Amino acid sequence: MTGYGRAEETVNGCTITVELRSVNNRYLDCNVRIPRLYLFAEDGMKARVQNTISRGKVDVFVTLDNGNAEKVQVSVNKPVADGYYAALTELAQAYGLTNDISVSLLSRFPDVLLAEKAEEDVEQMAKDICSVLDRALTDFDQMRTREGERLREDILSRAATIEAKVALVEERSPQTVSEYRAKLEARMSEVLANTQLDPARILTEAAIFADKIAVDEETVRLRSHIGQLREMLSKGGATGRKLDFLIQEFNREANTIGSKCSDLEIARHVVDIKAEIEKIREQVQNIE
């Protein structure tokens, strides 16, 4: 979910710069920071962000530079100009003067030329800002794609480590039953001394112990979860929430295995598995 994107474009003499920055967040939280004069573009910008980003705290910064020059529209105030022209013509006729009325002369009279700030096309300006935003979002996505590939490789590597540790647990688990049976026979021999051991009793106790520490179901489910993890990462898209849930299932199985084991070697493997799961969980927080 973390990322940064930037784009800049000059449109009709106005330089528009858009920057995006996102950090981890459970849901999408988009804040647009734009000059008050251009707040009319905010809703359209948020809609574009929502179409591209589904999770994360996103800050969008917009700056606009008109080159310190306001657009001015100059027009002729024809009724006033007509009045001045008529008055000057009448003056020339009345006093027998040369009629030398010129454009430069008329333009000097008050209010003949009107200079007004041109009205801004709000709709077009919003489109221009959103167009630059689209380019910033493209840059943002490219950065996230690179970061996402790195995360994917790291998570898959840790998943492979978990899978290898699960294999060691599966290999060691039956051995603990054999060792328990041998220890049980030795203890009972000491206690009963010269009395003959009951093989059926030994088998029963060993069977109870084997059932108590059996982790086959948990390791099978853990392998299944690893398969699901790989599938999600290969498909891509917004999988962050699903991965959050899946990692909880990873932890559930690892905790169950840990609670069942009474063997030091298996306990060490479980600690390693849980350490890798925690590292994956941290990385998943960066995935949309």
CATH code for the domain in which residue 133 is found: 3.30.230
Q: What is the pLDDT of residue 91?
A: 87
Task: Indicate if 106 and 165 belong to the same structural domain.
Answer: no
What mean pLDDT is reported for the chain? 84
Angle at which helix 122-192 crosses helix 216-235, to 10 degrees, equals 160
Task: Indicate if 161 and 174 belong to the same structural domain.
Answer: yes
Query: Count of domains in the chain?
Result: 3
Task: Indicate if 63 and 178 belong to the same structural domain.
Answer: no
Q: What is the pLDDT of residue 199?
A: 65
Q: What is the pLDDT of residue 129?
A: 94
* pLDDT confidence bin for 13, thresholds 50/70/90: confident
108-160 residue pLDDT tens: 888 888 876 656 678 888 999 999 999 999 999 999 888 888 999 999 999 99
Task: Indicate if 86 and 193 belong to the same structural domain.
Answer: no
Query: Within 10 A of 144 (CB to CB), how many other CB atoms are there?
Result: 23
User: CATH number for the domain including 246?
Assistant: 1.20.120
Domain extent, residue 41, equals 3-68+122-143
Task: Indicate if 197 and 230 belong to the same structural domain.
Answer: yes
Question: Are 129 and 38 within 8 A, CB to CB?
Answer: yes
249-284 residue pLDDT tens: 999 999 988 887 777 888 899 999 999 999 999 888
Instruction: In whole angstroms, give the CA distance from residue 251 to residue 239.
Output: 18
DSSP conformation class of 30: E
* pLDDT confidence bin for 212, thresholds 50/70/90: low
Dihedral pair phi/psi, residue 113, rounded to 5°: -110, 130
Cβ partners under 8 Å of residue 206, min gap 6:
177, 180, 181, 184
Task: Indicate if 138 and 26 belong to the same structural domain.
Answer: yes
Coil, strand or helix at 233:
helix
* Better pLDDT: 272 or 3: 272
Task: Indicate if 107 and 160 belong to the same structural domain.
Answer: no
Question: Are 254 and 222 within 8 A, CB to CB?
Answer: yes
Task: Indicate if 154 and 181 belong to the same structural domain.
Answer: yes
Coil, strand or helix at 117:
strand
Task: Indicate if 111 and 135 belong to the same structural domain.
Answer: no
Q: What is the pLDDT of residue 197?
A: 55
149-201 residue pLDDT tens: 899 999 999 999 999 999 998 888 777 766 656 565 566 555 555 556 566 66
Task: Indicate if 261 and 171 belong to the same structural domain.
Answer: yes
Task: Indicate if 280 and 184 belong to the same structural domain.
Answer: yes
Predicted TM-score (pTM) of this structure: 0.62
Q: What is the pLDDT of residue 182?
A: 59
Question: Are 31 and 50 within 8 A, CB to CB?
Answer: no
Torsion-angle region of residue 61: left (phi > 0), alpha (psi -120 to 50) or beta?
A: beta
Per-residue pLDDT, averaged over 99-107, amounts to: 86
Q: What is the pLDDT of residue 284?
A: 87
DSSP string, 245-287: HHHHHHHHHHHHHHHH---HHHHHHHHHHHHHHHHHHHHHTT-
62-84 residue pLDDT tens: 999 876 455 667 889 999 999 99
Task: Indicate if 266 and 187 belong to the same structural domain.
Answer: yes
Q: What is the pLDDT of residue 211?
A: 53
